[in-house]
């Protein structure tokens, strides 16, 4: 280190040791590569702040000049400007060519040249924009020694002048290319007299040391000649800089075969002059971090200490250097006015943001206004029309062609004039041009034309109507997306209530728009324009909004569902239903279904979204409840609006599945952690990655921010057994908590941020002190799982997650199927709840009110429990697969759930708590009798209900049985019903009064099937074994059909007291039910036989199997007629057509095949196409099939219901049930009524319209 620099450090050592905090300074010095991590550790080991500062100075004294410079710059950037000033004169020089360098790298040679040439000095607050500076230098080098022009252009206040001056602070550039010097002229807006004065001053400056002092030139022509001679003879190879050029005629005065750099808002300004021309476009905004850096320098604060309003200011002005500098300078004088200036900017009060810098205009609005005033009068009107363009939207030329009723070329010529003057921006990347305004320009225009905005909006709507008449734009048209996104915006802006009503309440518009952009934007519009839409009747808007909110996850997928059919599922009072019914009645030949028993169903969720293409592992609310972040198996992070599901940010965030995500307390950041072992921090609004942490050695399971705003502390836990704490302002882990001996699954800060709780596969929950990372307490959860002998259970107790009570006194822990509530101080168990005997708990969350707990279960449902009364208060069904996560909003009014089914559902807590949890089992029997649909169903597992499907009324309900009911059946005359139980008991009851007539303990295992014979006197049943029982319940006689070697899959009655049965042993048998003898025995398949069907003429039957084949057999010859190959999965079901010509088979891949019975040939696939990365069109297994009486249509059940055209194999209609996994479909003889139950226990009685 230079002696002078060393002396300055020693001289000011006392002041430095007294004031500086070393941590941030060392971060900067490490990034400058002048300080090592070992040296940083050495400093950290010192006890006091003063000792740490002294150690750092000792280390710097042993180093070179670079460490002094780095230390000086760190002081400057971290807000120690007074201390930096003490060291300023000791900064070692940088040797560069001839002349010594000053602290900013500018040599004395450069300083002299720039000073003589009148180049402006750097502003007091300056941040580098190296890419643009380098671009200007590069274009100047391109001039070489030839005359020519370099134009630096951009909108008002984008930093053209500062960047140009900075490009000239380059020793090599001046020495190699412009040894004759540089001459700067600030031109601005001038008339001829003003220009002459500028030229006279320049000539006078260039003649400065001339012995022949001449009189000033008397006119522009004379001045031009004088300047040409001076540049040619006295200043060859010099550069003339003309700052702020407005008019091309001004340039002609300087067009004298020399090298000129100009700054201008008008790109086309050099069109009128000759010579080589080069351009540099200056972007209108700074990067977000650069904007914050300027503000921090103005107010003398660290970036990390800036208030939240700083982020908002930079975002609001889109990083405009002018606005940031103006506001920064104002804040330097009035440091408490952050909120005030932000409001002025948001409210477009540009006049209040007045001059307080070296900028040429009094206020921000004046700077923009002067550009507009330069336009010709007819162009001003066209520019005014742009006042109603939406923010941040690139508008295709076609939209403006419609607005102005002009040809494309005419419109492009007008717009190019605006582009040239930096009043508009053009994106030329696509097939056609797209135009957009900077936010400040748009704000200026809307403020200036505020009184005319309604008329301007009305004009664009009328032009749209005139152009499209009654049609709507089609996707192939370039303006299509603009109208779908913004037609409602213009109608609302014009206050065109009727037009907006007609548009937003039209199923045609909704269908067209959702197919293109999904439902979220429409939901947003219903919310945004509710004040206009609700003027006559708010219910209609609520109907449409609810329709989209609850069906959005379907509307976002391909193939696009029939919106009319979805509309028909709405309540009959809904405007959506009424419109859908009118549409359905108008469409001739279309196939639509009415859900006739839907009245009993209440929708409990507020919104369903499908943001991911795979399982959603985690989702959470932002603190203000406005946004939701979600992540999952598709490796993406999504941030969307909680109100509408409208996507705000989508990031391909990791290289493997993302297991958890979390908002910071102020909502600025989102953390993600992944199976790729990384933790990443993202800006929640821009999607930019702020930092990546890679210190975990195994997958990271959970991440959680601390609860206090402004304190960016993050806890993460991993399969590597560690919990780590991170400070976002540092690059490395702050603390590591060691103590678990197996994977750590979950971690959470206590409400006051003093503690961290962690849950592990080792069977413990541990509490840690956040500041010291010391273990405070450990609770052995496995002690609370004992077997019958009161010994600890051998099975590993995996502690899934935990949740703190609002005051931090209690902690809720989840393991297996139990909720355990502990006192934090004593670690005593306060209470425990066994939530379910059939599934495990995946996640839990305490409601902010402390009484309710939401529990996510592996069997697709979510339950709410009152932890004080230990009672279940709600059962939430809706997901079609495992639920991974449940989280309350900060105020507890909403909660969200995320699932393997790719959806996130948002529920209203109060609404859910008022609902009942009535559920039907999927095993039911249906009799179609004299136009009535009578359904026997198992209700809440232990009751039997007889339901009239036409009226949705319950005709009979039994008392609760002692054992769960597993199957049921009706007699054809509707006098009797029978049911089997899990205990193995079979009972027969009278339907008139529900009285049990006979009971028999038939099996030791659960009864699987039961059926009456046609005379209703005999009941046939099978269980989880290989025996079929034929019970004449009236005579109490029983015949046993023994012969199968494995469990019976199912059976069906044939004529003449015959029975066909099939089994998991691969055989099919024909029995005589009177004698109990086997009449025929078919060894059909190598795998289990999953279904059989009998041909209408009774001569043949078909069998399908887990071996992926189907076969057609002859009863008479006992031989196989055809083996049907081609299915790629288990063939689950089959049925013959009534005309005896066709066989349909369905498999577990969702495919249906139609075969010719006579030849065994494959005739059709029923839509074997897949969608959305391999999701089958049938949404899972095909479980049941049924032909129409004319054999032209086929209905199938599986993930949902589908109807097919048998001749073409095309889908005619799809009915999306609320749940999935439909086990069977019962069809009326006339093929007009269909009955099924989904896995949520919801009954569907559908009637063809």
Count of CB atoms situated within 10 Å of the CB of 950: 15
State how far the Cα of 658 lies from the Cα of 673, in Å rounded to an integer.
Answer: 6
Structure tokens that stand for 198 in this block: 């500028």
Q: Report the half-sphere exposure of 910 (CA within 13 A, side-chain side).
A: 2
With a cut of 50, list the residues of the chain below it in pLDDT.
Answer: 94-103, 355-359, 1170-1177
Give the H or E element holding residue 565.
helix 563-568
Instruction: Return the structure tokens found at 982.
Output: 């899990």
Q: What is the pLDDT of residue 442?
A: 86
Provide the pLDDT for residue 1176.
Answer: 44
DSSP 792: B
Tokens of 1060: 């066909």
**pLDDT at position 790, please?**
52
Q: Give the three-class secondary structure for 672.
A: strand
Question: Does a cis peptide bond (omega within 30 degrees of 0) precede residue 559?
Answer: yes
Q: How far is CA 1054 from CA 402, 500, 1015, 1061, 1095, in A?
A: 71, 62, 13, 10, 11
Adjacent-strand bridge partners of 1113: 1101, 1120
Residue 376 exposed, middle or buried by CB count within 10 Å (0-12, 13-18, 19+): exposed
1059: CB partners within 8 A, 6+ apart: 1020, 1028, 1030, 1041, 1051, 1052, 1053, 1070, 1071, 1072, 1073
Give the torsion sign (CA, 20, 22, 27, 33): positive
In terms of Cβ atoms closer than 10 Å to its own Cβ (0-12, 13-18, 19+), residue 968 is: buried
Measured distance CA(1199)–CA(1223) in Å, rounded: 9
The 3-state DSSP class for residue 1211 equals strand
* DSSP code per residue over 291-325: HHHHHHHHHT--GGGS-HHHHHHHHHTTT-HHHHH
For residue 827, give the H/E element and its range: none
Burial 470-508 (b: 16+ CB within 10 A, else e): eebbeeeebbbebbbbbbbbbbbbbebeebbbebbbebe
Sheet containing 1067-1072: which strands, arranged edge to edge? 1048-1053, 1058-1063, 1067-1072, 1078-1083
The distance of Cα 463 from the centroid of its chain, to the nearest Å, equals: 35
Nearest 5°: CA angle at 991, between 987 and 996? 35
pTM for the model: 0.75
| 447: phi then psi, degrees, rounded to nearest 5 | -70, -45
Q: Give Cα separations from 932 to 872, 969, 991, 1187 (angstroms).
A: 37, 17, 16, 21
899: nearest Cα among 1240, 1202, 582: 1240
Q: Which long-range contacts (CB under 8 A, 24 or more apart) does 948-952 make?
A: 949/596, 949/597, 949/1233, 949/1235, 949/1245, 950/596, 950/1245, 952/596, 952/597, 952/599, 952/600, 952/1245
Q: Please, are residues 1033 and 1019 in contact by the beta-carbon 8 Å criterion?
A: yes
DSSP type of residue 770: T
User: Within 13 Å, how many C-alpha atoms sit on residue 23's CB side?
Assistant: 10
Selection from 737, 749, 723 nearest residue 774 by Cα: 737
Which of 78, 71, 5 has its CA nearest to residue 32?
A: 71
Whole-number Å distance between alpha carbons of 356 and 839: 68
Q: Structure tokens of 926?
A: 């249906």
Nearest Cα to 1053, choosing from 1007, 1006, 1002, 1015?
1015
Angle between helices 507-517 and 480-493 (to 10 degrees): 130
Question: How far is it, in rounded angstroms, from Cα 1080 to Cα 1076?
Answer: 12
Least Cα distance to 660 among 644, 640, 642, 678 occurs for: 678
Position 1186 scores a pLDDT of 97
Round to whole Å and give the CA distance between 351 and 361.
Answer: 11
CA–CA distance, 605 with 137 (Å, rounded to integer): 60
837 burial type by CB count under 10 A (0-12 exposed, 13-18 middle, 19+ buried) = exposed
- What is the DSSP code (8-state) at residue 231? I
Q: Using CA of residue 1227, residue 1228, residue 1230, residue 1234, what is the dihedral sign?
A: negative
Longest dimension (CA), the chain: 140
CB–CB of 619/611 below 8 Å? no
Contact present, 1147 and 1097 (Cβ < 8 Å):
no
Q: Are the C-beta atoms of 371 and 265 separated by less than 8 Å?
A: yes
The Cα 480–Cα 489 span in angstroms is: 15
Q: What is d(CA 386, CA 466) in angstroms, rounded to the nearest whole number?
A: 19
């Amino acid at each position: 280190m230079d002696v002078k620099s060393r002396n300055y450090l020693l001289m000011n050592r006392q002041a430095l040791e007294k004031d500086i905090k070393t941590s941030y300074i060392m971060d900067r010095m490490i990034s400058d590569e002048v300080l090592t991590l070992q040296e940083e550790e050495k400093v950290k080991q010192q006890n006091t702040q003063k000792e740490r500062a002294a150690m750092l100075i000792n280390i710097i004294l042993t180093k070179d000049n670079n460490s002094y410079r780095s230390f000086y710059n760190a002081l400057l950037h971290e807000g120690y400007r007074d201390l930096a000033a003490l060291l300023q004169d000791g900064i070692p020089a940088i040797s560069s060519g001839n002349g010594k360098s000053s602290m900013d790298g500018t040599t004395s040679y450069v300083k002299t040249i720039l000073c003589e040439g009148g180049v402006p000095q750097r502003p007091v607050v300056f941040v580098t924009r190296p890419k643009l500076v380098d671009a200007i230098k590069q274009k100047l080098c391109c001039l070489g020694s030839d005359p020519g022009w370099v134009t630096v252009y951009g909108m008002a206040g984008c930093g053209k002048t500062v960047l140009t001056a900075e490009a000239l602070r380059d020793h090599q550039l001046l020495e190699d290319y412009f040894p004759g010097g540089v001459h700067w002229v600030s031109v601005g807006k001038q008339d001829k007299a003003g220009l002459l004065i500028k030229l006279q001053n320049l000539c006078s400056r260039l003649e400065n040391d001339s012995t022949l002092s001449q009189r000033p030139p008397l006119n522009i022509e004379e001045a031009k000649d004088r300047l040409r001679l001076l540049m040619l003879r006295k200043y060859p190879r010099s550069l003339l800089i003309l700052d702020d050029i407005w008019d091309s005629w001004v340039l002609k005065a300087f067009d004298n075969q020399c090298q000129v750099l100009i700054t201008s808002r008008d790109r086309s300004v050099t069109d009128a002059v000759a010579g080589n021309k080069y351009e540099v476009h200056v972007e209108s905004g700074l990067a977000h971090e650069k904007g914050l850096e300027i503000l921090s320098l103005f107010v003398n604060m660290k970036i990390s200490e800036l208030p939240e309003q700083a982020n908002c200011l930079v975002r609001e002005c889109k990083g405009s250097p002018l606005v940031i500098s103006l506001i920064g300078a104002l804040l330097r004088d009035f440091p408490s006015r952050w909120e005030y200036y932000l409001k002025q900017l948001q409210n477009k009060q540009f006049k209040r943001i007045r001059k307080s810098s070296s900028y040429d205009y009094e206020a921000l609005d004046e700077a923009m206004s002067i550009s507009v005033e330069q336009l010709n009068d007819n162009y001003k009107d066209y520019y005014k029309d742009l006042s109603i363009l939406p923010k941040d939207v690139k508008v295709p030329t076609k939209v403006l062609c419609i607005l102005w009723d002009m040809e494309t070329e005419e419109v492009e010529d007008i717009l190019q004039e605006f582009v040239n003057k930096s009043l508009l921006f053009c994106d030329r990347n696509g097939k056609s041009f797209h135009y957009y305004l900077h936010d400040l320009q748009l704000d200026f225009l809307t403020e200036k034309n505020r009184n005319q905005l309604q008329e301007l909006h009305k004009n664009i709507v009328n032009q749209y109507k005139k152009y499209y008449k009654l049609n709507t734009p089609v996707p192939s048209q370039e303006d299509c997306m603009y109208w779908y996104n913004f037609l409602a915006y213009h109608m609302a802006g014009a206050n065109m209530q009727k037009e907006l009503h007609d548009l937003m309440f039209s199923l045609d518009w909704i269908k067209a728009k959702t197919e293109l952009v999904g439902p979220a934007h429409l939901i947003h519009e219903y919310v945004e324009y509710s004040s206009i839409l609700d003027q006559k009747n708010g219910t209609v808007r609520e109907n449409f909004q609810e329709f989209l909110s609850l069906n959005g996850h379907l509307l976002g997928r391909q193939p696009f569902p029939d919106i009319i059919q979805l509309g028909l599922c709405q309540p009959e009072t809904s405007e959506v239903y009424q419109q859908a019914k009118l549409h359905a009645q108008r469409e001739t030949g279309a196939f639509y279904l009415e859900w006739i028993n839907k009245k009993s169903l209440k929708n409990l969720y507020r919104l369903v979204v499908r943001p991911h293409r795979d399982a959603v592992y985690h989702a959470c609310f932002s603190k203000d409840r406005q946004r939701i972040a979600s992540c999952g198996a598709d490796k993406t992070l999504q941030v969307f609006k909680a109100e509408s599901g409208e996507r705000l940010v989508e990031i391909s965030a990791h290289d493997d599945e993302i297991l958890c995500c979390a908002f910071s307390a102020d909502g600025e950041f989102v953390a993600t952690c992944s199976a790729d072992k990384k933790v990443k921090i993202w800006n929640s609004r821009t999607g930019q990655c702020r930092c990546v942490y890679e210190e975990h050695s195994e997958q990271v399971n959970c991440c959680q921010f601390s609860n206090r705003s402004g304190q960016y502390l993050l806890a993460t836990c991993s399969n590597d057994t560690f919990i780590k704490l991170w400070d976002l302002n540092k690059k490395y882990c702050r603390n590591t908590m060691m103590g678990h001996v197996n994977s750590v699954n979950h971690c959470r800060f206590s409400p006051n941020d003093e503690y961290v709780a962690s849950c592990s596969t080792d069977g413990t929950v541990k509490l840690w002190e956040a500041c010291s990372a010391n273990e405070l307490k450990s609770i052995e959860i496995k002690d609370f799982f004992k077997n019958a002998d009161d010994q600890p259970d051998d099975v590993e107790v995996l502690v899934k997650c935990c949740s703190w009570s609002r005051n931090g006194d209690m902690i809720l822990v989840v393991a297996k199927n139990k909720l355990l509530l502990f006192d934090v101080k004593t670690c005593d168990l306060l209470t425990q709840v066994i939530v379910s005997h059939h599934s495990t708990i995946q996640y839990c969350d305490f409601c902010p009110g402390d009484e309710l707990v939401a529990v996510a279960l592996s069997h697709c449902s979510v339950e709410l429990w009152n932890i004080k009364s230990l009672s279940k208060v709600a059962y939430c069904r809706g997901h079609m697969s495992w639920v991974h996560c449940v989280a309350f909003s900060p105020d507890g009014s909403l909660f969200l759930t995320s699932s393997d089914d790719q959806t996130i559902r948002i529920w209203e807590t109060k609404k859910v708590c008022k609902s009942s949890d009535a559920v039907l089992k999927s095993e039911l029997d249906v009799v179609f009798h004299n136009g009535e649909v009578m359904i026997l169903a198992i209700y809440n597992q232990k009751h039997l209900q007889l339901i009239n499907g036409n009226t949705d009324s319950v005709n009979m309900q039994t008392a609760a049985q002692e054992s769960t009911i597993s199957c049921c059946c009706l007699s054809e005359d509707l006098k009797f019903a029978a049911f089997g139980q899990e205990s193995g008991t079979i009972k027969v009851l009278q339907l008139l009064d529900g009285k049990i007539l006979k009971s028999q303990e038939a099996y030791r295992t659960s009864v699987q099937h039961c059926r009456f014979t046609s005379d209703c006197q005999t009941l046939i049943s099978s269980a989880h074994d290989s025996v079929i029982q034929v019970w004449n319940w009236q005579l109490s006689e029983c015949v046993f059909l023994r012969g199968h070697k494995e469990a019976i899959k199912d059976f069906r009655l044939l004529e003449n007291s015959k029975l066909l049965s099939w089994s998991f042993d691969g055989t099919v048998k024909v029995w005589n039910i009177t004698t109990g003898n086997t009449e025929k025995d078919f060894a059909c398949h190598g795998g289990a036989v999953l279904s059989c069907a009998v041909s209408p003429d009774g001569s043949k039957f078909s069998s399908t199997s887990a071996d992926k084949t189907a076969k057609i057999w002859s009863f008479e010859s006992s031989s196989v007629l055809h083996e049907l190959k081609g299915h790629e999965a288990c063939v689950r079901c089959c049925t013959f057509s009534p005309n005896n010509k066709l066989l349909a088979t369905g498999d577990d891949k969702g495919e249906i095949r139609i075969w010719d019975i006579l030849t065994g040939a494959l005739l059709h696939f029923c839509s074997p196409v897949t969608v959305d990365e391999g999701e089958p069109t049938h949404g899972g297994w095909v479980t049941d099939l049924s032909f129409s009486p004319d054999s032209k249509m086929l209905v199938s059940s599986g993930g949902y219901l589908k109807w097919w055209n048998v001749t073409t194999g095309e889908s005619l209609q799809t009915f999306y049930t609320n749940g999935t996994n439909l086990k069977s479909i019962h069809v009326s003889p006339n093929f007009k009524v269909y009955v099924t139950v989904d896995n949520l226990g919801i009954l569907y009685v559908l009637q063809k319209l």
